[in-house]
């Protein structure tokens, strides 16, 4: 919501999408949120710039391997910096800019298949409550934008 408050055009666009879809409906449901693609882009962009945690949980290597010029030995503690990946210009054009439309034609999701977007981790150790967290944020943001009347 803070990113939208800084950019009234984006907030207005999101509110128009929500209000056009919902009309005069009083209660927003999870099913309604599924029909709001721009809102989903806003949530993805928010999680890219502001992940729930800057680092994934630490992992310990089980064997020796090398990545570029770096050697990793067994029992080395490794942490993935999700915050830095979300701002890496190698993967993101204008990475510091809040631009939800970057996800418009993208197949990037939360499941950890795209290593430029690891908000919830990847593989068998991905956050078990990822879906609940995303749905909660989407539903809350939809309600806030639907009922909020700003200047």
> Which of 92, 135, 98, 100 lies closest to 117 in space, CA to CA?
92
> Strands, E, within 14-135: which ranges?
59-60, 65-67, 70-72, 77-78
> Which of 144, 134, 141, 146 lies closest to 21 in space, CA to CA?
146
| Alpha-carbon radius of gyration of the chain | 18
Q: How far is CA 68 from CA 8, 16, 65, 86, in A?
A: 44, 48, 10, 21
127 among the known binding-site residues? yes
Question: Would you list which residues are annotated within the binding site?
Answer: 127
Question: Would you list which residues are annotated within the binding site for heme?
Answer: 127
């Amino acid at each position: 919501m803070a990113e939208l408050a800084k950019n009234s055009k984006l907030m207005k666009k999101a509110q128009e999408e929500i209000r056009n879809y919902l009309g005069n409906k009083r209660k927003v449901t999870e099913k309604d949120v599924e029909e709001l693609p721009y809102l989903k882009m806003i949530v993805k962009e928010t999680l890219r710039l502001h992940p729930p945690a800057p680092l994934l949980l630490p992992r310990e290597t089980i064997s020796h391997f090398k990545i570029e010029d770096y050697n990793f030995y067994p029992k080395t503690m490794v942490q993935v910096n999700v915050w830095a990946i979300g701002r890496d210009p190698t993967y993101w054009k204008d990475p510091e800019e809040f631009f939800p439309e970057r996800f418009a034609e993208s197949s990037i999701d939360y499941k950890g298949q795209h290593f430029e977007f690891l908000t919830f981790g990847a593989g068998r150790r991905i956050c078990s409550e990822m879906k609940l967290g995303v749905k909660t944020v989407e539903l809350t943001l939809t309600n806030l934008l639907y009922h909020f009347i700003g200047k």
